[in-house]
Amino acid sequence: FAVASADQWQFRIALIRGSGKSVYRFIHATQKPKAGDEAEFVSAVNTFHYVDAATARSVSPLHVAIDKVRPGDTSVTLARKMAYPDMRLERFLTLNGIQAGQSLKPGEQVKIIAE
């Protein structure tokens, strides 16, 4: 684990040595550090673990799909298509660089995370 700062950013970095020459890097970057950041970061990193081959084969990866905005679509209605159980709207907005409440134009393309 390490902490670094540059300009107005603070970074928390964790490295985990994998098999062979593999190294896994976790990076948390923020411009507004909070008191609980370190504990949350350590907790998240500690969830990392290897899975056996059978478990790996049973996982179906998510992918980015392109969807076209239709008349009447909003960020809220499009976010319902996201393949996540939670924070769909927040994820949709972030993925597409859209501000909450920003109107979408029919025909415009947006990214959706799909199975």
Q: What are the pLDDT digits (tens) for 20-42?
A: 899 999 999 999 888 988 899 99
Model pTM?
0.58
Whether 19 shows a pLDDT value over 90: the answer reads: no
DSSP-assigned states of every residue in the chain: -EEEEETTEEEEEEEEE-STT-EEEEEEEESS--TTHHHHHHHHHTT-----HHHHHH----EEEEEE--TT--HHHHHTTSS-SS-HHHHHHHHHT--TT----TT-EEEEEE-
